[in-house]
């Protein structure tokens, strides 16, 4: 289900209503009633954290269930209020305001804006904006687009998707929080990732075990050698990742290779968690 911007606004405001103090709610209502002028809007947007705080939303399971594949479980009060103010303004001002906010945003504002892409009107038209977020050198901004965000899965073409996955690995971010990672796996991505693994091996660097997740379904006879290399590496997480990749392959040789290994397979989530705690 795609969110209509109006229903997203209603949802955000209902969450705020049950969390804001009376004073904070009054401040919000006052700003919400005066969104016609750009100056007032930009000031209100900037002032949200000071007036409403930055507490976690901590959504209940019931609230969370209204969100389908949109995952706001990490959202905070200020983020919800900022997006609500952006959505509540005049429709014709929306794009210009979004662009200006992105161009002038501080780190917190940029994270907020990018993680809400899915809630905006006509999200399919915002792929360039999303790609700009991925170009950021600020890792949390990159992750606001890439992680816990259904936008890339729904709206990116393969080229943009593949760049995102490759960059996530390149900057030392993780793959597991990318939504649709398995569904959007594709042959050119697998080829690029194998190339990048070769580059890293040539340079004597570690290959992130998560890389093999996007390779598994596309293992062919050539790539089997590469997976084998991961299987035989010193890193137990790489060995586990290689087993998972083999398990995702239909290639008979892959199945044979898998059967010859120990019968212990972690999940990708467990590998992700283990990597985060290294």
Partner 1 sequence: MSEDPSKSNEPIKLIDPHVHMSARTTDDYERMAASGVVALIEPAFWLGQPRTTVGAYMDYLSSLVGFERFRASQFGIHHYCTVGLNSKEANNEELAEAVMEILPLYLQKEGVVALGEIGYDDQTELEDRYLRKQIELAKEFDMVIMIHTPHRDKKRGTSRTMDVLKEHGVDPAKVAIDHNNEETVKEVLDRGFWAAFTLYPNTKMGNERMVEIVREYGSEKIFIDSAADWGVSDPLAVSKTFRLMNERGITKADIEQVCYHNALSCYGQSGQINEEDWLNPLPVDQRNLFHGNSVLRGGQTPRVDEDSLIIE
Q: Please, what is the minimum distance in Å from the beta carbon of residue 265 to partner 1?
A: 27
Helix 94-104, helix 77-88: angle, nearest 10: 140
Q: What residues contact 16, with CB distance under 8 A and at least 6 apart?
A: 25, 28, 52, 77, 80, 81, 84
Question: Per rule CB under 8 A, is residue 104 in the interface with partner 1?
Answer: yes
Q: Please, what is the minimum distance in Å from the beta carbon of residue 76 to partner 1?
A: 7
Helices (H), the chain: 5-17, 22-32, 38-52, 61-65, 77-88, 94-104, 107-115, 127-135, 139-146, 151-155, 158-170, 187-202, 221-231, 236-247, 252-259, 268-276
Question: Per rule CB under 8 A, is residue 109 in the interface with partner 1?
Answer: yes
Question: Per rule CB under 8 A, is residue 107 in the interface with partner 1?
Answer: yes
Question: Per rule CB under 8 A, is residue 106 in the interface with partner 1?
Answer: yes
Dist. CA 11–CA 179, nearest whole Å: 22
| Cβ-based nearer residue to partner 1, 46 or 95 | 46
Identify which of 90, 136, 128 has the alpha carbon closest to the alpha carbon of residue 111: 136
Q: Please, what is the minimum distance in Å from the beta carbon of residue 79 to partner 1?
A: 8
Number of chain residues interacting with partner 1 (CB under 8 A):
29
Dist. CA 31–CA 27, nearest whole Å: 6
| Cβ-based nearer residue to partner 1, 47 or 88 | 47
> Applying CB under 8 A, which of residues 71, 94, 95, 105 lies at the interface with partner 1?
105
Q: Please, what is the minimum distance in Å from the beta carbon of residue 17 to partner 1?
A: 22
Q: Mark the segment that binds partner 1 (CB under 8 A) among 88-96, 99-107, 183-191, 244-252.
A: 99-107
Question: Per rule CB under 8 A, is residue 47 in the interface with partner 1?
Answer: yes
CB–CB of 175/272 below 8 Å? yes
| Cβ-based nearer residue to partner 1, 108 or 217 | 108
Q: Mark the segment that binds partner 1 (CB under 8 A) among 9-17, 37-45, 82-90, 255-263.
A: 37-45
Q: Please, what is the minimum distance in Å from the beta carbon of residue 1 to partner 1?
A: 24
Give the CA distances from residue 183 to residues 7, 109, 120, 164, 216, in Å, rounded to whole numbers and listed in that order: 27, 30, 24, 15, 12
| Cβ-based nearer residue to partner 1, 265 or 274 | 274
* Cα torsion through 204, 205, 208, 213, rounded to 10: -30
> Applying CB under 8 A, which of residues 31, 129, 147, 184 lies at the interface with partner 1?
147
Residues that bind partner 1 (CB under 8 A): 39, 42-43, 46-47, 49-50, 74, 76, 79, 100, 103-111, 136-140, 143-144, 147-148
């Amino acid at each position: 289900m795609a969110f209509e911007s109006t229903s997203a606004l209603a949802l955000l405001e209902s969450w705020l209503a049950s969390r804001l103090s009376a004073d904070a709610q009054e401040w919000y209502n006052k700003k919400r009633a005066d969104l016609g002028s750009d100056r007032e809007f930009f000031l209100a947007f900037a002032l949200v954290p000071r007036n409403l705080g930055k507490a976690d939303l901590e959504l209940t399971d019931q609230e969370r269930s209204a969100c389908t594949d949109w995952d706001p479980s990490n959202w905070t009060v200020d983020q919800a209020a900022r997006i609500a103010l952006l959505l509540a303004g005049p429709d014709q001002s929306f794009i210009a305001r979004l662009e200006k906010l992105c161009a002038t945003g501080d780190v917190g504002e940029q994270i907020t804006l990018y993680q809400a892409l899915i809630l905006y009107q006509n999200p399919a038209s915002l792929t360039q904006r999303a790609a700009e977020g991925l170009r950021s050198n600020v890792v949390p901004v990159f992750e606001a687009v890439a992680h816990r965000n259904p936008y890339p899965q729904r709206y990116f073409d393969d080229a943009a998707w593949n760049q995102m996955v490759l960059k996530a690995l390149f900057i030392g971010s993780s793959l597991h929080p990318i939504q649709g990672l398995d569904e959007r796996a594709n042959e050119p991505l697998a080829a690029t990732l194998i190339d990048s693994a070769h580059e890293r091996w040539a340079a004597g660097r570690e290959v992130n075990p998560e890389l093999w997740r996007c390779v598994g379904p596309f293992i062919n006879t050539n790539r089997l050698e590469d997976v084998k290399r991961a299987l035989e590496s010193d890193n137990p997480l790489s060995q586990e990742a290689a087993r998972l990749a083999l398990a995702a392959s239909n290639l008979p040789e892959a199945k044979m290779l898998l059967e010859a290994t120990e019968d212990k397979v972690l999940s990708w989530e467990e590998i992700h968690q283990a990597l985060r705690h290294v």
